[in-house]
Chain A
Amino acid sequence: DAKTTQPNSMESNEEEPVHLPCNHSTISGTDYIHWYRQLPSQGPEYVIHGLTSNVNNRMASLAIAEDRKSSTLILHRATLRDAAVYYCILSGTYKYIFGTGTRLKVLA
């Protein structure tokens, strides 16, 4: 199963954009890239996913490198409620393998 590498932690100021990187150099052609986040004392929640093209939704944008070996989750304006652990996951056939994620701290 392909793995992902993320920084352990990042900080951002409130109302500024945040770029969360993820490396997945062993990604296969059929792997989707998913992002979930986990707020304190809650279960993970879906953020966004994509295969090859950049994706946008109401929560975030996902930028995928042309070779698909890396991707970046973009939060356009961070708020205090965005403080969470963000997981970048590759789904092969059907199974999610979570890493340790990036803990995002948002400074007021």
Chain B
Amino acid sequence: EAGVAQSPRYKIIEKRQSVAFWCNPISGHATLYWYQQILGQGPKLLIQFQNNGVVDDSQLPKDRFSAERLKGVDSTLKIQPAKLEDSAVYLCASSLRGGQFYEQYFGPGTRLTVT
């Protein structure tokens, strides 16, 4: 079975520029997550989708970050404008359903460097 796909794998931008990340979850997985992982820390949940609806976006900096999941499949995460502190790895994960019973499958991540 194909895993979670993410692109690009690496991105370097200047502060105040915009950037977008793409995620394709495992086929049939209803729940999709975006995490931010700063160097030396564990991943932090930014947003969770159940199909194409948002379940939790309480830790998403909504003044600059946005995410969508059209048609309940692929998802994009956008940062506009980027700040230096946004430098991190952005991980996408998916699970068959939401809830604590279902294993999350993670993609390889996109490493963002903001200069």
How far is A99 from B56 in the complex, measured between Cα atoms in Å? 19
Give how many B residues have a beta carbon under 8 Å from the other chain's beta carbons. 23
Q: Which one of B12-20, B70-78, B101-109 is at the A interface?
A: B101-109
Cβ-defined partner of A43 (8 Å) among B55, B98, B101, B107 = B107
Pairwise interchain contact A94-B104, C-beta atoms closer than 8 A: no
In the assembled complex, which residues on chain A have CB atoms less than 8 Å from the CB atom of B103?
Answer: 46, 49
In the assembled complex, which residues on chain A have CB atoms less than 8 Å from the CB atom of B43?
Answer: 44, 96, 98
Pairwise interchain contact A43-B91, C-beta atoms closer than 8 A: yes
Cβ-defined partner of A44 (8 Å) among B99, B100, B106 = B106
Q: Which secondary structure dominates chain A's binding surface?
A: loop
A92 interface residue (CB < 8 Å to B): yes
Pairwise interchain contact A94-B107, C-beta atoms closer than 8 A: no
Residues of B within 8 A of A (CB): 4, 40-45, 48, 55-56, 91, 93, 98-101, 103-109
New contact pairs (7) apart from A34-B100, A36-B104, A98-B41, CB-CB < 8 Å: A32-B101, A42-B106, A43-B91, A44-B93, A45-B106, A94-B48, A100-B42
